[in-house]
Structure 1
Amino acid sequence: MRELRTRWSALADRVDSATPAHRDRSVDALRAFAILGVVLGHWLVTALTVTDGSLHGASPLAAMPWLAPVSWVFQTLAVFFLVGGHVADQGHAAARARGVSYGAWVGQRLGRLFRPVAAVLTLWAVVAGGLLVGGAEPETVRTLLKLVWSPLWFLLVFAALTAATPLVARISPLWPLAVVAGVDVWRFGLGGPEWIGWVNVAAGWLVPFTLGAAWSRGAFSRRRQSLFLLAGGAAATAALILWGGYPASMVGVPGAAVSNLNPPTLAAVAFGLAQCGLALLVRGPLARVMERPRTWAKVALLNLSAMTVFLWHQTAMMSVTAVGLLFSTELPGLHTAPGSAGWIVARLLWLPVFAAALTVCWSAFRVHEQPRAARTPRTAVISAAPRVRVPGTARLEEVGRV
């Protein structure tokens, strides 16, 4: 154990010393927070139960609506789009200054996003085929594939906004916000078609993305601007929930008439504004915390494998659930219906197991997130038994490029 701590301290010092002095570490910290929020949120509000021989998805939010505040903590997509807009605008400006073409810039960024996706899709195509051939219920296969593939909508939207950075970066966030409000008025107030809500998939996430671009150009240099976002967004969210008829949960709830997230509603966007205001307010304290080498090393290394963690976290949870079925079909918090406080306690105890399974997935598939030029032996060993290798400090410049 002492040797492990020594190796980790040495690696943390290397990561810290290799980080450029001008790097805003708070940006990476915010991205890490957003990714972990999504992962933990999915692990807490997604359950798999066995009914009539098939696996079915369930959510504790449906049986226990008083848990809605949990979604306020773990639905962190607005922060990710805020950081994405900030980094994309800065990256595009820097690329232009170096004479890099738009095609080369966007190809590099989107390549980092989609290289890991191919591995997920390939593995699950094989798994799904094997399950069906082996006699698994089609409903079980459908449930598993939905959990794996449904988060990919986020990557598609993020990739589209990233590719459109030169066109949308200077748009005022008020314009897409007005579109979201107009769509909701038409959809909920005037009896418009349900499909019109999907316009908000682009418009809704464009709001924090353009806020991030404005941040990269010097906006929010004063605390009162961020405070206005936080207070205004929180007040608008509360009003929309209390008097506008919007659900309190900021994620989808099975069986609910309206989802704030699928597609995004005005309440979700207002909540995102509050999140962005809070994120911008804590930049200073975060930057000071990130000056600690060991803390910064954890954040930097997570950012290097952010897409791997995002893409494989549901697979990790489902793997643990499947292994559990070998022992029992009623393991508390894993296979049982999420309908009581006892289920919540049991699920919390399973989180470290999910994290261990995700570590295995990370070890196996993180290579797909690295450019081919970086898939060389330039690594640093942080443990001896088992020997776990992480990307070397030569790739630190790539932290946060997506």
Structure 2
Amino acid sequence: MSAPTAPVPPAPPTPPAPRAPRAPLAALRRTAARIERRTPAHRDRAVDGLRALALLAVPTGHWMLGGFTLDAAGGLHNASPLSAFGFLAPASWVLQMLGIFFLVGGYASVLSYHRRPGGTGAWLRGRIARLGRPVLGVTAVWALAAPVLYAAGVPEASLRTGATLVVQPLWFVGVYVVVTALTPYCVRAARRLGGWAAAPLLGSVAVVDFLRYGPYADGVPSWVAALNVLPGWLFAYQLGVAWGERRIGRRGAWLLLAGGAALFAVLLVAFDYPASMVGVPGADRTNSHPPSLLVLALAAAQSGAAILLRDRLARLLSRPALWAPVVVVNLCAMTILCWHQTAMLAAAVPGSFLGEVAGLTTAPDTLAWIGQRAAWLPVFALLLAVLARWARRFEEPWTRATAVRRTAAGVLAAGFAVFALGLA
């Protein structure tokens, strides 16, 4: 009689096959990996991250701190929640990041300036062309679109409001061109004085503010305020140049952060500066046009914080998933700046034909409006992404553009500027 056969143990259950990632997620991962592979090892990710952050603050600030009202004819007019809710002013301290933008601009410019292959003139012409092409593009397109929109029934009030909003952010480009042209002098000043080279600019703005708002302000002509435009925005750029020249370290950064924050608090509490960093309709004083001493105090504090956080930010952006969007934003920098107001108008103008649409064309004078407008941000962002896919071409060199086309674009842009400024 044979021995009984040992029972065969059951086979272990087959583990389920890993689920394949969804196609869109997989595509995003592949894109992030491709961007990571193409990024040079010497790329300063922290500086690019700061630039992207400052860039995204511009549309966010304009979309959240700007609104519309409707007149009886259905025309759109500019309005702001800051007129009704002064307690929202601290939001403008966060969203007003032009100090960071000029800081990073100075840092990047000095590095580019040292590598200039064709001399200072060729370097400056190249940078001006990079800034000018997108501006000509958006203004020329609007110059062509405005008559078509008017013929389609868009009220003239809406067109003028839209033109003002489109031109509003473009002042920055003109100022940035001027400070960029001063880069050689900023480099010399930084090499001699380090971060202290920005101190005379701070003092100049303080003197003009004293003339504007001091005890003898009644006899001061209004044009004196314009004297703050160049030193006011050159201040952070000069700090960026000194940073690029490695003349500002952690000790200087702490001084900027603490000193800027202290000056900011003193100006608000003791000298009654307006709390909002952006213009408020109907207010008799503004901090941003032209920049006041409060703007420089905020820029100093922001610059100090940015320099101190640089290494931590660089480590954070070593992750491909975080680095990829930074690259995309930087590649579309001027497109975002030039077209983000058009994206909002692409929703608001059709909405005005429907009457009062909550958070879009209703007056920003209720707390509910804040939440309603926040709900529109993804819509504005999506419209901007759609526009950017087409408008990105204006950032590319105009290799095929003839002199006639350039002239035509310039004439159209000038005509649109006249209309936007209310001169026509």
In the superposition, the TM-score normalised over structure 1's length comes to 0.89
Q: Report which stretch shifted further, 131-140 or 157-166.
A: 131-140
Gaps of 5+ in 2: 1-20, 190-196, 401-424
Deviation at 1:130, TM superposition (A): 2.8
Deviation at 1:135, TM superposition (A): 5.8
Residue-by-residue CA offset, 1:227-283 (whole Å, 9 max, x unaligned): 211111111011101111210001111111100001100111111111111111111
- CA RMSD, aligned part only? 1.7
Residue-by-residue CA offset, 1:69-116 (whole Å, 9 max, x unaligned): 110110100000000011111111111xxx421122112211111111
CA distance in 1: counterparts of 2:359 and 2:28, whole angstroms? 33
- Counterparts of 1:164-179 in structure 2, within 5 Å, are 164-171=182-189, 172-179=197-204
CA distance in 1: counterparts of 2:211 and 2:54, whole angstroms? 31
- Would the aligned equivalents of 1:260 and 1:268 in 2 still touch at CA under 8 Å? yes
Deviation at 1:226, TM superposition (A): 1.0
CA distance in 1: counterparts of 2:125 and 2:262, whole angstroms? 40
Amino acid at match of 1:185: F
For residue 48 of structure 1, what is the aligned residue in structure 2?
Answer: 68
Note if 1:228 corresponds to 2:249: no
- Would the aligned equivalents of 2:228 and 2:291 in 1 still touch at CA under 8 Å? yes
For residue 367 of structure 1, what is the aligned residue in structure 2?
Answer: 393
* 1:48 aligned counterpart, secondary structure: strand
Q: Closer, same or farther in 2 for the Cα pair 1:9/1:242, shift >3 Å?
A: same
CA distance in 2: counterparts of 1:158 and 1:49, whole angstroms? 32
- Counterparts of 1:170-319 in structure 2, within 5 Å, are 170-171=188-189, 172-189=197-214, 190-191=216-217, 192-221=220-249, 223-319=250-346
For residue 4 of structure 2, what is the aligned residue in structure 1?
Answer: none
Deviation at 1:164, TM superposition (A): 1.9
Amino acid at match of 1:258: R
Q: Closer, same or farther in 2 for the Cα pair 1:225/1:168, shift >3 Å?
A: closer
Gaps of 5+ in 1: 375-402
Residue-by-residue CA offset, 1:177-236 (whole Å, 9 max, x unaligned): 111011111111121222111111111011000000000011232x23212111111110
Larger Rg: 2
For residue 192 of structure 2, what is the aligned residue in structure 1?
Answer: none
Q: Closer, same or farther in 2 for the Cα pair 1:288/1:66, shift >3 Å?
A: same
CA distance in 1: counterparts of 2:39 and 2:88, whole angstroms? 40
Deviation at 1:65, TM superposition (A): 0.5
Deviation at 1:40, TM superposition (A): 0.2
CA distance in 2: counterparts of 1:224 and 1:165, whole angstroms? 24
CA distance in 2: counterparts of 1:134 and 1:116, whole angstroms? 26
Residue-by-residue CA offset, 1:24-58 (whole Å, 9 max, x unaligned): 11000000000001110000011121112221100
Q: Closer, same or farther in 2 for the Cα pair 1:183/1:145, shift >3 Å?
A: same
Note if 1:160 corresponds to 2:186: no
For residue 125 of structure 1, what is the aligned residue in structure 2?
Answer: 143
For residue 141 of structure 1, what is the aligned residue in structure 2?
Answer: 159
- Would the aligned equivalents of 1:170 and 1:213 in 2 still touch at CA under 8 Å? no
For residue 364 of structure 2, what is the aligned residue in structure 1?
Answer: 338
Q: Report which stretch shifted further, 29-38 or 12-21.
A: 12-21
- Would the aligned equivalents of 1:241 and 1:248 in 2 still touch at CA under 8 Å? yes
Q: Closer, same or farther in 2 for the Cα pair 1:135/1:362, shift >3 Å?
A: closer
* 2:188 aligned counterpart, secondary structure: coil
Deviation at 1:137, TM superposition (A): 4.1
Amino acid at match of 1:320: A
Q: Report which stretch shifted further, 121-130 or 291-300.
A: 121-130
Amino acid at match of 1:163: A
Amino acid at match of 1:74: L
* 2:291 aligned counterpart, secondary structure: coil
CA distance in 2: counterparts of 1:130 and 1:4, whole angstroms? 38
Amino acid at match of 1:82: L
CA distance in 1: counterparts of 2:148 and 2:89, whole angstroms? 37
Q: Closer, same or farther in 2 for the Cα pair 1:46/1:173, shift >3 Å?
A: same
CA distance in 2: counterparts of 1:52 and 1:321, whole angstroms? 16
Amino acid at match of 1:50: L
In the superposition, the TM-score normalised over structure 2's length comes to 0.84
> Percent of aligned positions with the same letter in both sequences?
44
- Would the aligned equivalents of 1:249 and 1:260 in 2 still touch at CA under 8 Å? yes
CA distance in 1: counterparts of 2:128 and 2:394, whole angstroms? 13
Work out which of the residue numbers 114, 128, 131 in structure 2 matches 1:110.
128
Deviation at 1:132, TM superposition (A): 4.2
CA distance in 1: counterparts of 2:44 and 2:154, whole angstroms? 49
* 1:227 aligned counterpart, secondary structure: helix
Give 4+ residue runs of structure 1 displaced > 6 Å after superposition.
Answer: none
CA distance in 2: counterparts of 1:135 and 1:120, whole angstroms? 22
For residue 386 of structure 1, what is the aligned residue in structure 2?
Answer: none
Amino acid at match of 2:82: L
For residue 80 of structure 1, what is the aligned residue in structure 2?
Answer: 101
Deviation at 1:373, TM superposition (A): 7.0
- Would the aligned equivalents of 2:70 and 2:352 in 1 still touch at CA under 8 Å? no
- Would the aligned equivalents of 1:170 and 1:210 in 2 still touch at CA under 8 Å? no
